[in-house]
Chains A and B, each alone.
Chain A
Amino acid sequence: MTSMQAQRRPDKEKLRWMYSQMVLIRTFEERVQQDYMSGKLVGAIHVYVGEEAVAVGVCGQLRKDDYVTSTHRGHGHCIAKGLDLRRMMAELYGKVDGQCRGKGGSMHLCDLERGMLGANGIVSAGLPLACGAALSANLRHTDQVAVAFLGDGASNAGAFHESLNLAAVLKLPVVFVLENNGYADATHIRYAARVTNLADRAAGYGIPGVTVDGMDVLAVHEAAGEAVARARSMRTPTLLECKTYRYYGHYVGDAGQYRSKEEVEAYRQKDCISQLEQRLLQEGILSEGTRREYREQATEAVEDAVRFAQNSPIPGPEVGLEDVYVRY
């Protein structure tokens, strides 16, 4: 990105990329959900369906060499950051060709090559890592930035507050992207916090806090553009809250009885993919034909990833004892 203007108005190519990425994430997650329910996948899996606009809007502003720390709900961030679908799926299947040789699983997907510093099984534990990656960029005199994705639940943990303060005090190029989907497990954020906009907490640390509609990928993209530009050139942090919603339970298998069907339906009406699709069709950036093409491509890519994962060997017992130390 060369100017703020360019960041604000994504060109046609960028818009199509956003659309295809959101569709890809949704297709991947629906498939993961399905394979879990039919017993092909096990473990703890948290899907991102409904929240695609956040990962795509934000990562649409990042370079390959920028850093991202993710959460237990990290598949969307990984896909938007460009991770290989085959190796992601193989990791979920616990296979040797997985991104982490079958030793990380859904909650530890990561990719050194693409600056993905890892999903994280500990709520809020990724935030300090993002601060460190940002400091690392500063010390190495690069203009890389770091993004820490986190949930509303994580914003009540100590590491959130420590990280915002550290980023402010040490002037670190970090964008904290708070995915407020209303719930941490079964607990509504209205119960767990006394502020309406969690971005207001930024004021307590003397950094900018912004709240946007996380179901609107263009709004996310624009706000992320400003935050990333600030990080890139001024080397200062931002808290960006994206109000969003997860369509399924907290984890695959959670019936989600703590919320009403009406509530879920109301959010589905504002679906981030449908919104962008309507707009791109109206503006002629997408046609019926290309729309179908993107969807078919996504389905084929996910099918291919599943085939790859299923054909990949399971790791032998010796693999489990490796990678404890670099040298011992």
Chain B
Amino acid sequence: MANLSIRDALNQAMTEEMARDPMVFLMGEEVGAYNGAYKVSKGMLAQFGPQRVYDTPITEGGFAGLGIGAAMTGLRPIIEMMTFNFALQAIDQIVNNAAKMHLMSGGQFCIPIVFRGPNGAAHMLAAQHSQSFESFYAQVPGLKVVTYSDAKDAKGLLKTAIRDDDPVIFLESEMTYGQQGDVPDGEYTIPLGVGEVKRPGTDVTIIAWSKLVGQLALPAAEELAKMGIQAEVVDPRTIKPLDEELIFDSVRKTNRVVIVEENFKFCGVGSEISERIYNRCFDDLDAPVERVTSHDVPMPYAHSLESAVLPNVGRVIEAVKKVLYV
């Protein structure tokens, strides 16, 4: 085991995959000479050269589409979005070409591409730089949506995403690039569609993913433990495909569920997860599913307002008390 930052774990994943497979390349704004806007690609230009690590002009639609064309013709592009807010400039390419090409071509073309970069709010970046996009991409058939909550998962899942033959939206967070964690030595991958229980418990299931596992779900569980409530924290890791069996198993054990996400509430990922729980675990539930999300407003700038819009530990604890009727 090595103790690594998420930044280094992601860097290792890309570096190992590029060393393993000459068809993998990295492209994006500032990924080369500047070592990445968040230094995730540090040293990669020096190691692999300009034929494998490309700096681009500010042209998200252009290089997203370029990546798709390269994927259609035998390469495995990693396309870094400086943040996913800017990927809206490329949404036509991602939705209309990457996601649909396999079906439209009757299975002739596959698109082994990874779009990766920070997602969600950082700190006081205001409405255009703070959106969470899991539910947005999860709505599109043809895309896979992957998140991670620690360094081990970050590395193992990114390696799998790069090897996957379908387009993958790989959502990171600039807030946790520095977060340290144990990473296994040597080669390993983590399959898509397999979640993990991050903290076992018996009284309530808290479903969370991405940075909210470490920021909200686990701290809330600690607080709850002090009150004698044992929360189980379930991280599905990949939103699509979704490890629903892991979720159902936990629900059948605890009979109470809180879903925590940074997306807007309306048509959030939690809407889909709760529908599946109602459908498959109706008789196991002792209370309606509670959801803790961002409020349905464009993110305001001021710290006080941003904090009020985002989900927080207090709201998670409130929701848990509600499903426990305490």
Q: Which residues of A contact B (CB under 8 A)?
A: 67, 69, 98-104, 108, 110-112, 117-118, 120-122, 125, 127-140, 146, 158-159, 162-163, 165-166, 169-170, 322-328
Partner of A118, one of B25, B57, B101, B241: B101
B56 within 8 A of partner (CB): yes
Q: Is the CB of A324 within 8 A of B109?
A: no
User: Is the CB of B73 closer than 8 A to any CB of chain A?
Assistant: yes
B54 proximity list for chain A (CB < 8 A): 170
Q: Residue among A110, A130, A132, A159 with the most chain B CB within 10 A?
A: A132
The residues of A that contact B57 with a CB separation of less than 8 Å are 165-166, 169
18 contacts between A and B (CB under 8 A): A110-B109, A112-B109, A120-B97, A122-B97, A129-B66, A131-B62, A132-B68, A132-B69, A132-B75, A133-B72, A133-B73, A139-B23, A140-B75, A163-B62, A166-B56, A323-B102, A324-B102, A325-B166
Complex interface: chain B residues within 8 A of A159 (CB)? 61-62, 65, 92
| Residue in B52, B65, B68, B92 whose Cβ sees the most chain A Cβ within 10 Å | B65
- Contacts A104-B104, A125-B92, A162-B59 known; A327 to B166 CB distance under 8 Å? yes
Contact A112 B103, beta carbon cutoff 8 Å: no
Bound-state Cα–Cα, A322 to B103, Å: 7
Beta-carbon contact of A162 and B69 below 8 Å:
no
Q: How far is the CA of A129 from the CA of B104 in the complex (A)?
A: 15
Which B residues fall within an 8 A CB radius of A? 23, 25, 51-52, 54, 56-57, 59, 61-75, 77, 92-93, 96-97, 101-110, 141-142, 144, 164-166, 193, 241
Once the chains are docked, how many angstroms separate the CA of A131 from the CA of B62? 9
Cα of A188 to Cα of B65 in the assembled complex, Å: 28
Find the A residue at minimum CB distance from B111. A326
On chain B, the residues within 8 Å of A323 by CB distance are 102-103, 105-107
Provide the residues of chain B in CB contact with A104, threshold 8 Å: 104-106
Known: A100-B104, A100-B108, A132-B65. 12 other contacts (CB 8 A): A104-B105, A111-B108, A122-B96, A127-B65, A130-B69, A132-B69, A136-B70, A159-B65, A166-B62, A324-B142, A327-B166, A328-B166
Q: How far is the CB of B180 from chain A (nearest CB, A)?
A: 33
A326:B59 contact, CB within 8 angstroms:
no
Q: Which of B52, B96, B105, B141 has the most CB of A within 10 A?
A: B105
Q: Which residues of A contact B110 (CB under 8 A)?
A: 326
A117 is contacted by which of B69, B102, B142 (Cβ under 8 Å)? B69
* Complex contact A112–B62 (CB within 8 A): no
What's the least CB distance linking B239 to chain A, in Å? 13
The one of A127, A169, A326 in contact with B166, judged by C-beta atoms closer than 8 angstroms, is: A326
A322 vs B43: C-alpha distance when bound (angstroms) = 41
- When chains A and B are docked, how far (Å) is the Cα of A67 from the Cα of B144? 27
Taking CB atoms, residues of chain A closer than 8 Å to B67 are: 132
Residues in chain B near residue A136, CB distance under 8 A:
69-70, 73-75
Contact between A132 and B141, CB atoms less than 8 A apart: no
Partner of A103, one of B104, B142, B166: B104
**Nearest opposing residue in chain B for A111, CB measure:** B108
> Which of B63, B75, B97, B193 is close to A125, meaning CB atoms less than 8 Å apart?
B97
B106 x A103 contact (CB < 8 A): yes
Chain A residue with minimal CB distance to B64? A128
Q: Which residue of chain B lies nearest to A130 when distances are taken between CB atoms in the complex?
A: B69
- Min C-beta distance of A320 to chain B, whole Å: 9
Of all A-B residue pairs in the complex, the 3 with the closest CB atoms, nearest first, are: A128-B65, A132-B69, A162-B62
Q: A158 to B73, alpha carbons, bound, how many Å?
A: 23
Return the contact of A325 from the options B56, B92, B93, B144 (Cβ within 8 A).
B144
- A120 to B68, alpha carbons, bound, how many Å? 14
Residue of A whose beta carbon sits closest to that of B101: A118
Q: Which of A69, A100, A110 lies in contact with B69, CB distance below 8 A?
A: A69
State the CA gap A137–B264 with chains docked (Å).
42
CB contact under 8 A between A132 and B71, given known A169-B57, A327-B166: yes
* Chain A residues with CB under 8 A of B165: 326-327
Interchain CA distance A122-B98 in the complex, whole Å: 13
B104–A118 touching, CB < 8 Å = yes
Chain A contacts for B23, CB-based, 8 A: 139-140
The chain B residue sitting closest to A96, CB to CB, is B106
Report whether A328 and B241 are in contact in the complex, using a CB–CB cutoff of 8 Å: yes
For B70, what are the chain A residues with a Cβ–Cβ distance below 8 Å? 132-133, 135-136, 139
Q: Which residues of B contact A129 (CB under 8 A)?
A: 65-66, 68-69, 72, 97
With CB as the reference atom, state the residue of chain B lying closest to A164.
B62
**CB within 8 A of B62: which of A98, A110, A128, A140?**
A128
A324 touches B65 (CB 8 A): no
Q: How far is the CB of B119 from chain A (nearest CB, A)?
A: 22
Given contacts A99-B106, A100-B104, A322-B107, contact A166 B166 (CB under 8 A): no
**Cβ of A139: which chain B residues have Cβ within 8 Å of it?**
23, 25, 51-52, 70, 75
Residues of B within 8 A of A128 (CB): 61-66, 68-69, 93
Instruction: Tell me which residues across on chain A come within 8 A of B106, comparing CB atoms.
Output: 98-104, 323
**Contact: A132 with B72, CB < 8 Å?**
yes
Q: Which A residues are CB-close (under 8 A) to B101?
A: 118
Residues of A within 8 A of B65 (CB): 125, 127-129, 131-132, 159, 163
Residue of A102, A127, A139, A169 contacting most chain B CB atoms (<10 Å): A139
- The answer on a CB contact under 8 Å between A166 and B63 is yes
Q: Which residue of B lies closest to A170 (CB)?
A: B54
Separation in Å of the B240 CB from the closest CB of chain A?
Answer: 9
CA distance A111 to B104 in the complex (A): 11
- Complex: how many Å from CA A120 to CA B100? 11
The one of A110, A122, A138 that contacts B108, using a Cβ cutoff of 8 Å: A110
The answer for the CA separation of A326 and B109 in the assembled complex, in Å, is: 10
Residues of A within 8 A of B56 (CB): 166, 169-170
The interface residues of chain B lying within 8 Å CB-to-CB of A130 are 69
The reply to whether A122 and B92 form a contact with Cβ atoms under 8 Å apart is yes
A243→B75 CA distance, assembly (Å): 35
Q: Shortest beta-carbon distance, A220 to chain B, in Å?
A: 24
